[in-house]
């Protein structure tokens, strides 16, 4: 089955400072591998058109968005000790948001059932009023909000398997029941949140599912979590759309963490979500790149992820 691929690596708009781990190479190298592989014929390279970014302001405080623009307009700088912006990073961030919104529209219009957005800057650490952890705007949260606001979806699932807890996404939807947020992550580790007792509040109680993973966990532990915890919960939720925060930094070779997944884990995790999507939402999945800092591991993991997304 053909799937869509959106490439928004933005090496020109969002170049990294010297030696910074969040750099264009981490995804460009992986894209070269998959585009020269045996799955290339089932990848359709998509060029997003302009799209409304009104959902950006439904997710992020307008003053925060303006502050990011101001930092870029003034030549760039750091939002915190890790999170940089260049003179055109605001433009890059907006383009990824547009790409996510446009991809949602293509999927909801039945042009594609599944799309992978290879975008940077990443997004899942960005909270309502601040960027952090290399992230400027929360791309996946904006996508979920767009689906709810434009298409009146009542149940959107976000599965975040980045090795770091998706604190920004959790923060944004913590008191809502129209988004079921699942995160598997190394714990305790950056950013410090994501304990199992963080389950949501108010209307959102029970719609946040954190699965902390100990340092050294591998394929078996992740498979057990998917089969015994995640899939039963998501089957009960019956999502109308599935979004994936696809970080590949839980790989055994990644330099920024201590989880030991192989590429096989990404085949199995993706496979579970493909089956879930086929059961509940006509196979609809949007996957958005997050972390992953070893180019070779990213290439292997992306190949496994995309190949399984192609399964009908």
Task: Render pLDDT for 107-159 as a digit per residue (tens, 0 to 9).
Answer: 999 999 999 999 999 999 999 999 999 999 999 999 999 999 999 999 999 99
What percent of the chain lies above the pLDDT cut of 90? 98
**pLDDT of 24-34, one tens digit each?**
999 999 999 99
Res 50: pLDDT: 87
Average pLDDT on 207-224 reads 98
d(CA 218, CA 222): 6
Res 155: pLDDT: 98
Q: Which distant-in-sequence residues (6+ apart) come within 8 Å of 232 by Cβ?
A: none
All structural domains of the chain? 3-309 (3.40.800.20)
DSSP secondary structure string for all residues of 244-297: EEE--TTBTT-TT---BB-HHHHHHHHHHHHHHHHHHSTT-EEEEE-----HHH
Q: Are 69 and 61 in contact (CB under 8 A)?
A: no
Res 206: pLDDT: 98
Helix and strand numbers, DSSP H then E, in the chain: 10, 10
What percent of the chain lies above the pLDDT cut of 70? 100
Query: Both tokens of residue 84?
Result: 């940089």
Please name the residue that has the structure tokens 């019956």: 238
Average pLDDT on 20-45 reads 98
Average pLDDT on 260-286 reads 98
Which entry of 14, 60, 125, 146 is annotated as an active-site residue?
A: 125
Res 66: pLDDT: 97
pLDDT confidence band for 244 (50 / 70 / 90): very high
**Cis ω before 252 (30° cut-off from 0):** no
How does the average pLDDT of the chain come out, rounded?
98
d(CA 259, CA 189): 11
Average pLDDT on 41-52 reads 94
Q: Is 272 a catalytic residue?
A: no
SS3 73: helix
Res 30: pLDDT: 98
């Amino acid at each position: 089955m053909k799937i869509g691929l959106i490439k928004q690596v933005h090496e020109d708009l969002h170049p990294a400072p010297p030696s910074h781990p969040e750099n264009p190479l981490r995804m460009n190298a992986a894209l070269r591998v998959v585009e020269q592989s045996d799955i290339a014929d089932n990848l359709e390279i998509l060029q997003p058109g302009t799209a409304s970014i009104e959902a950006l302001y439904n997710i992020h405080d307008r003053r925060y968005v303006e502050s990011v623009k101001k930092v870029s307009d003034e030549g760039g700088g750091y939002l915190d000790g890790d999170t940089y912006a260049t003179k055109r990073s605001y433009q890059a961030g907006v383009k990824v948001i547009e790409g996510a919104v446009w991809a949602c529209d293509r999927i909801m219009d039945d042009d594609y059932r599944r799309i992978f957005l290879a975008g940077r800057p990443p997004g899942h650490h960005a909270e309502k009023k601040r960027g952090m952890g290399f992230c400027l705007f929360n791309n996946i949260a904006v996508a979920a909000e767009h689906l709810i606001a434009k298409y009146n979806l009542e149940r959107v699932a976000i599965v975040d398997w980045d090795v770091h807890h998706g604190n920004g996404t959790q923060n944004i939807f913590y008191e809502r029941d129209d988004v079921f947020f699942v995160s598997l992550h190394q714990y305790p580790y950056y950013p410090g949140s994501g304990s199992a007792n963080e389950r949501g509040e108010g209307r959102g109680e029970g719609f946040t599912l954190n699965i902390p993973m100990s340092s050294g966990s591998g394929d078996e532990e992740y498979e057990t979590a998917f089969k015994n915890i995640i899939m039963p919960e998501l089957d009960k939720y019956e999502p109308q759309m599935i979004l994936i925060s696809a970080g590949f930094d839980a790989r055994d070779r990644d330099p920024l963490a201590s989880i030991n997944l192989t590429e096989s884990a990404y085949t199995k995790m993706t496979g579970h979500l493909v089956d879930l999507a086929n059961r509940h939402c006509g196979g609809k999945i949007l996957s958005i790149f997050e972390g992953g800092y070893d180019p070779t591991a990213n290439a292997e993991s992306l190949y496994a992820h995309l190949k399984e997304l192609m399964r009908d």
